[in-house]
Structure 1
Amino acid sequence: MATPSPTIKPYRIHVPDAALERVAAKLALATLPGETTFSDDPAYGAPLSDIRRLVGVWRGDGEGGEKFDWRKAEEELNESLPQFETKISVEGHEELKVHFVHKRSEVVGDGDGEGGNKKKGKKLVIPLLFVHGWPGSFLEVSKILPLLTSATTDDDAPSFHVVAPSLPNFGFSQRTSKPGFGLAQHAEVCHKLMLQLGYDKYVTQGGDWGSMITRIIGILYPSHVLGSHFNFLMVAPPTLLTAPILYLRHVLGLHSPADKAGLARSQHFRVTGSGYSALQGTKPHTPGFAVADSPVGILAWVYEKLRGWTDGYPWTDREVLVWIAVYVFSDAGPDASFRLYYETLQSAPRDDLLRRSRTWSGSVPIGYSAFAGEALLPPVEWAGLLGPVVFQSRHDKGGHFAAWEKPELLVGDLRKMFGKNGIGPKLPF
């Protein structure tokens, strides 16, 4: 393993007391919308009763008397997640502080092979880059981290060294200061982070923006990325020229019942659930004022997605508030995360890299796990329009936040794809 960069330093979350006091003061003065007979209809957005309850728990004056304790949550995150920070220079932009989680597999010592791996017996150990999206964060790696890095009794199943960065403008990474910080720049940050850690070759996993960023990493740095797994599929529909059989099947409606349901779900989402994307993708600064100033504003804005994009996941109030607090107390502020939508959507007509990310690229093997509750769910076989598919699965449970909702299923798929019965024997570890 190459020597890690000396700029890498341990990191512990510690939100200043002044920030906690400021949020408490704003919560004390919060004004909620007036009540109607349809205030809790999710078709209209975040239900009033849910937001009222969550605000009460956050303030500590709710019906049950429960109070959200950020300091306790902060300490638990510091104890359970090995966190670090480093400096990464981005071409055309500034040097950024990047926060990340990094945990090496339990089944290896100080490896001396390529990528820092050292086999213990017959065990295969692989560096894995996990990239979150919006409205996610590094928190999404929490449940899969111990599963991915643990020793398994199955010699055919690999273990992983896991790296999960906070993307710039998210979590405890730095705010960017120049326009044009889009998908290619995020890909550059993630790739350079892996190199700083000594992982010259690695595999990736992503959902939401993470799927697009890791896809672009594979396009830009194909000699380093040995395989990419997605649980969110962004792909251009088949055409008569690109995939005539798939195109004709699509035009004629010759899909499986599961794929028909996925297409219907996708259309419903585009019509009723994509307004946030239009706002963040056209005028991100305007809604940014609301969420930057109001903790209730970012709570309602994100809670709608947590509830609507999961497949009946039983969110606890504490889970929701920790998720939201990472946005409220982020180094860049919750508004900064919106800008990725603008930089991507506004550049789309002229961005050849974005077009390539949604069409065929045969350089990196692909794996895809479809979860039935995903907001956008194209036919599973369309994954083959992106590149050589080496693994594919369909789950009838789980939604957009697969690593949080169904961690065991996602980890199982990763172990199958990268194990000795998958592409593991072809990997140089």
Structure 2
Amino acid sequence: MLVAVVVAICAGGCWDRREINELSFFSSAAFDLEGQERVLTVEYIKPSPAGGGGEGGGRETLPQRQAIIDSEKGATFLEAGRQGALGMPRRAYLAHAAAILIGEEMARYGIKEVLEHIDRIPEFRRTTLILLTRGPARDEVIMAQSGLEKNLGREITGLHKWVQVSGYGFIPNVNHVFYDLSGEAGSTVLPVLELAPQPYPPLLGRGGTAGGTGGATAPKAETLLTARLNGAGLFYRDKLVAWLNAEQTRGWSWVRNKVKNAVLTLSDQNGSLVSLNITDSRAKTEVEYRDGLIRGNIKVKVEGNLLEEQGYQDFTKEEAVKYLEEQAAARIRAEITEALRAAQKAGTDVFGFAGALHRRYPKVWRQVENNWRDEFQRLPVTIEIEAKLRRTGMTGRPLKPGGGS
């Protein structure tokens, strides 16, 4: 009876309720290091105005982010976050955080503090996306604009869904980073988020002064700073040690099966440009131990369709198809080679060789585990690429104006 009464009292109350109109929802956050102080910059979702009225008709304005920014400093990130409570009329709610950004200075110092902060707070989720910035991440959160989404968090969430169709980008979540850093190699890769200027249609009613022809001059287009991915950062343990450019990032992505789609711009037998759309990519990383030497092997198989041609190459002929497949294989091999060279120079095994060695040769792994970084830097690696052109779109022969054959 006593147990039943206690359970009934606890289950029937509203002592832990959280009213929506008393909460401020995280959308994204930036973690920076400034001297000895930690800087936490938070983007909160701005509540919609009561009554649901729109922005009104008539004169258009630049798209306004539906967000409020708060940036605070402290000896720790938790202290900085609590400083924000001094000017926040609502309780911060973290469970809806879409993404976190880590500034370059913080990344070089070590992201362990950031990961610990996220992992120890119950409201944060390990599915939160994580990215890197060149320079302070605070600037990206404050200055980012967008005409499609209302806040930076939603913008990054959209990028996460669609960026892999290019092959140049990927966005991991916090759990992926924990998994990588706790693995045999202790290395990971974080994509770089940057702001790029993009044109925005001119505002209505902003025609210039009367011109020489009697009419008003054309209004000038505005410019937005929109978020985009550009390259990645290599981490050894929890510290940023090197950068990858866009091509090197895709080279790494081929090997780690991050490429869902990609476009390869190649030359046909006549020297004209063609675009091959990669529709399937599968890769495998292997190691072999023989005669006291560890060797690595990367195997990649890709399939694609021809979707654009600038010349007059007839791809119904087998030799034309074979030549294009060889060109595709050479291009992918070059991208992987550049990425591998950068990773070996930095001593960051982000290709999975350490894990492959541990699984296949556990005794050998125990012998080289403590100096694997040095072993990886001199690891000989062979790269095998198999490319297949499956289709040439809706036609095999290009259009020849004038009716020529």
Higher helix proportion (structure 1 or 2): 1
Q: Which has the bigger relative contact order, CA under 8 A and spacing at least 6?
A: 1
Higher strand proportion (structure 1 or 2): 2
Q: Radius of gyration: which is bigger?
A: 2
Q: TM-score scaled to structure 1, two decimals?
A: 0.26
Q: TM-score scaled to structure 2, two decimals?
A: 0.27
